Structure 1
């Protein structure tokens, strides 16, 4: 009667106390039968115990509960001197039947769980292949990325990020493709593939954006109906050229990045709005490149709209610029951990959209992380 071992069907989903419910039913049944007249039967408790055990316990636990239920009913019959009464065994036969059915249900649930584990493992492997973790450090920049799915078991979605060290500096991409499901995943692979190939060869961010545009338009041409028009991706392309004292940005219809430095937060709005990637046929403009200073100790936070559209129970949207003001994260990992924890507090754990986060922190000249000792979110 343990949750550990082979055959466990709902690992990590239910509180441990719930697994004591079959035992509680057995105890209640015995107490009721022993403490009430002989014409009052608590066989329903003995019948329910193995059925309740089937989705909660392992195979061995379910079998033990079934045997315990049969033995408890026999003990009650012996207590009232009914072991020789054939009519009294009808309840016992019902309990035995339910115990056998419980074992059968336990096996069905176990097989379903194994299939779900396999699918989840494949999805996790695909996610690692599509969205690999960036290197923790490139030159004087420390890097961290997080993908927070709205559903606990979800692994894949339409949010994306990428970081690449190129001859032109460190180049980053964060984006959100239109739609959900496998169509969104296909678009993610197209955008990331185009970025990874073009980032090494295109000398400018505008050229890089144009290459991704072309890839998305080729993909869109293979689709029919409204998808041919609305297959687009909002994105921010960032480039930190050597020696790393500035950041170049192209914003294609995406939430503006944030620059954090010594407790202040600056929203890096684009000087000129541009359409999302994949809509170049409507306005063939790769976007304007904006350049901002990136001093030592500063952190650049890029994110998808799952962050800014997170709402508390009253409907108030999460404002990352306001919530992060006054905080001095010492590393990009610390920054992202603080953001994720704060979003969960803001939404009371009711997150409704996937969220991708990418942070880069420029180290101090000494190589230390920014912020005084002991400071942090």
Structure 2
């Protein structure tokens, strides 16, 4: 479905009041004299209330009242008789009710917008703001809150420089609200401490698993978090990666996109007691000017009007900006074109690019 068709489908509620208004006039002109179109005219301000401004809603009611009067007069009927009091009063009353409905819905939309903005601000305050450079890497992150949610989500990302390179993580905690915030804070703190203290990713994942299970016990609810943990050595030439049930990162290089699917799937954090042994650590090369793109499932589970999931691979296969922040902005713009509007779920995105000037050290 093209973007133009999706845009038209989103706008159809705006065209419904005038369509009903015109239909009432046409029916009145063509139908027998005893046919009453006042109910259709009276419905137009009610239909306008959810989509028009207050002035537009009232103007629709006034137009309906005027059209009713004109149609009555054109039929040769006397406007000032008791028989016509009921339909004219009905239009007036429904216009007043539509105005109150319009204000109530506008306040509700504003409250949801304000709450959503607060939730997104809190989420960004919880998440670290990384430097734009870590050793040989240029770094960028983006976060988008769900349009239909007012709760704080569980999407998170983290970076931590170590004596031997850079470690980073992206994860998605199941659930929303304060419980998700506590889980996010707990995993961020554990990742930071483990990155400094432990030499290998296996130990880092073990600490994260232990913390995730403790959080479940403290909250008294079953929860889990999908995650990808990456270790990039100081020269930037390679990546060591652990994927714990998370969407596969994408390695973008010279117009080609490679999904880094784990050879052996691993259970998410918090579910390790169901049968996980030692997590496999996989190694991938990171050529100069290559970009690793990581994201939470709010990206790949976003759908268009036909229910088709978003696939970032075709877009990332095109010519793209070299700077990772510009690349993520372009990707989000393409995602918005696909969905035809805001996202239904939170989405966190992270990108690292190995700079060309590090090629000699790789």
Bin of the TM-score, shorter chain as denominator length? 0.7 to 0.9
Q: Which runs of 5+ in 2 are unaligned?
A: 1-6
* Equivalent of 2:207 in 205, 211, 218: 211
2:124, 2:300 → 1: CA distance? Answer: 25
1:102, 1:297 → 2: CA distance? Answer: 58
Give the Å deviation of 1:358: 2.4
| 1:203-352 to 2 correspondences below 5 Å | 203-224=199-220, 227=222, 231-263=223-255, 268=260, 275-279=267-271, 287=279, 289-304=281-296, 330-333=322-325, 336=328
8 A contact 1:49–1:66 mirrored in 2: yes
Change (3 A) 1:70 1:128: same
**For 2:239, what is the secondary structure of its paired residue?**
strand
Give the Å deviation of 1:272: 7.1
TM-score (norm 1): 0.71
8 A contact 1:297–1:364 mirrored in 2: yes
* Equivalent of 2:134 in 132, 138, 148: 138
Q: By percentage of residues, which structure has more helix?
A: 2
Change (3 A) 1:90 1:285: closer
Give the Å deviation of 1:32: 4.5
Q: Which has the higher contact order (CA 8 A, sep 6+)?
A: 2
Change (3 A) 1:132 1:19: farther
Which is worse superposed, 120-129 or 158-167?
158-167
Give the Å deviation of 1:364: 0.5
**For 2:171, what is the secondary structure of its paired residue?**
strand
Aligned to 2:93: 97
8 A contact 2:135–2:234 mirrored in 1: no
Q: Which runs of 5+ in 1 are unaligned?
A: 1-11, 368-377
Give the Å deviation of 1:362: 0.5
TM-score (norm 2): 0.74
2:306, 2:15 → 1: CA distance? Answer: 37
Change (3 A) 1:140 1:313: same
The aligned length equals 350
Change (3 A) 1:87 1:191: same
